[in-house]
């Protein structure tokens, strides 16, 4: 660096910035700040859910729903105001806190749905449609604002809807549970491949496939271990594992090889 500076190949301001990093006078706290923001958002949403459940009888429904609704509206309004225009390609977050404000709004919306059904029982036995509605909102927000946090929330909520929906259909026992899990994994993988073909947020592909691979491989492994004799689950699990290994090597995604 000193040689480049003396030779005029490096501006003094740039030299000061790089030298501070090389000599570790400047330490990045980016990961730590993101972790604190993420934990803070989760803790706030969890605390809000606990408060609503504990004090709803004492405070009344409006005291819970009005501030929560205002918070959701504020988070989404701020996100729409600060977000860059929609693009099917990757869009950089406009600020450090942007993703977490949007994530907070989505979590609080889920808390509101849960509270509304707990207090008023609008849908009664069909309450799983709250999960489906939440998943649709989360997917829409994830694609509009290019947010992987909200995308993961949508994928998880969709999985919750699958589980509750099949339970509502009185599909009990191991076989229906296995089929439900495999169907969910295939639906997630199908969404990933469809959006890839349509060139819509192609960088989301990995998030979808990670979930699909874990769910499908875990279900197949469980099926093999639960069987007392040789069953069709064994060749299916071997084929799925081979597919993951081949894809992981081909596209340099080592996590799939580990799975």
- Predicted confidence (pLDDT) per residue in 102-136, tens digit: 999 999 999 999 898 888 888 877 888 899 999 99
Percent of the chain with pLDDT over 90: 62
Q: Which of 55-64, 213-222, 235-244 has the lowest mean pLDDT?
A: 55-64
- Total-model pTM: 0.82
Q: Is the pLDDT of residue 26 over 70?
A: no
Question: In Å, how far are 15, 32, 40 from 29, measured between CA atoms?
Answer: 21, 5, 16
Residue 59 CB neighbours (<10 A): 12
The mean pLDDT of 219-231, rounded to a whole number, is 86
**Mean pLDDT, residues 21-43 taken together:** 85
pLDDT at 2: 85
- What pLDDT, on the 0 to 100 scale, is given for residue 87? 93
d(CA 127, CA 90): 35
Alpha carbon distance 102, 51 (integer Å): 21
pLDDT tens digits for 170-211?
555 567 778 888 999 999 999 999 999 999 999 999 999 999
Alpha helix (H) residue ranges in the chain: 2-6, 12-22, 30-59, 61-82, 98-120, 128-145, 148-168, 174-197, 205-226, 233-250, 254-258
**What pLDDT does residue 165 have?**
77
pLDDT digit string, tens, across residues 48-62: 999 998 998 899 889
pLDDT of residue 122: 84
pLDDT computed for residue 118 by the predictor: 85
Q: How far apart are CA 115 and CA 49, in angstroms?
A: 8
Q: pLDDT at residue 164 above 90?
A: no
Distances 72 to 7, 78, 101, 112 between C-alpha atoms, Å: 56, 10, 10, 9
The CA distance from 223 to 215, in Å, is 12
Name the DSSP letter for residue 125. Answer: G
80-100 pLDDT per residue, tens: 999 999 999 999 999 989 999
Write down the mean pLDDT value for the chain.
90
Q: CB neighbours of 51 closer than 8 A, spacing ≥ 6?
A: 64
Q: Distance (Å, rounded) from C-alpha 82 to C-alpha 77?
A: 9
């Amino acid at each position: 660096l000193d040689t480049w500076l003396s030779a005029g190949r490096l501006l003094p301001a740039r030299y000061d910035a790089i030298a501070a990093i090389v000599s570790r006078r400047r330490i990045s706290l980016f990961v730590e700040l993101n972790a604190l923001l993420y934990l803070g958002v989760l803790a706030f949403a969890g605390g809000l859910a606990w408060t609503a459940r504990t004090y709803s009888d004492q405070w009344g429904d409006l005291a819970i729903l009005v501030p929560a609704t205002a918070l959701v509206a504020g988070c989404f309004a701020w996100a729409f105001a600060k977000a860059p225009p929609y693009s099917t390609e990757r869009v950089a977050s406009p600020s450090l806190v942007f993703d977490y404000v949007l994530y907070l709004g989505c979590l609080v919306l889920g808390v509101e749905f849960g509270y509304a059904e707990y207090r008023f029982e609008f849908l009664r036995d069909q309450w799983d449609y709250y999960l489906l509605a939440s998943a649709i909102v989360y997917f829409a927000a994830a694609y509009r604002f290019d947010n992987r946090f909200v995308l993961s929330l949508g994928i998880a909520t969709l999985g919750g809807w699958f589980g509750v929906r099949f339970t509502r259909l009185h599909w009990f026992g191991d076989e229906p549970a296995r089929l439900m899990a495999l169907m969910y994994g295939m639906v997630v993988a199908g969404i990933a491949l469809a959006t890839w073909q349509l060139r819509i947020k192609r960088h989301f592909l990995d998030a979808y496939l990670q979930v699909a691979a874990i769910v499908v491989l875990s279900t197949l492994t469980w099926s093999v271990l639960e069987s007392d004799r040789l069953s069709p689950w064994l060749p299916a699990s071997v084929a799925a594992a081979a597919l993951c290994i081949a894809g992981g090597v081909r596209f340099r995604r080592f996590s799939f090889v580990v799975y």
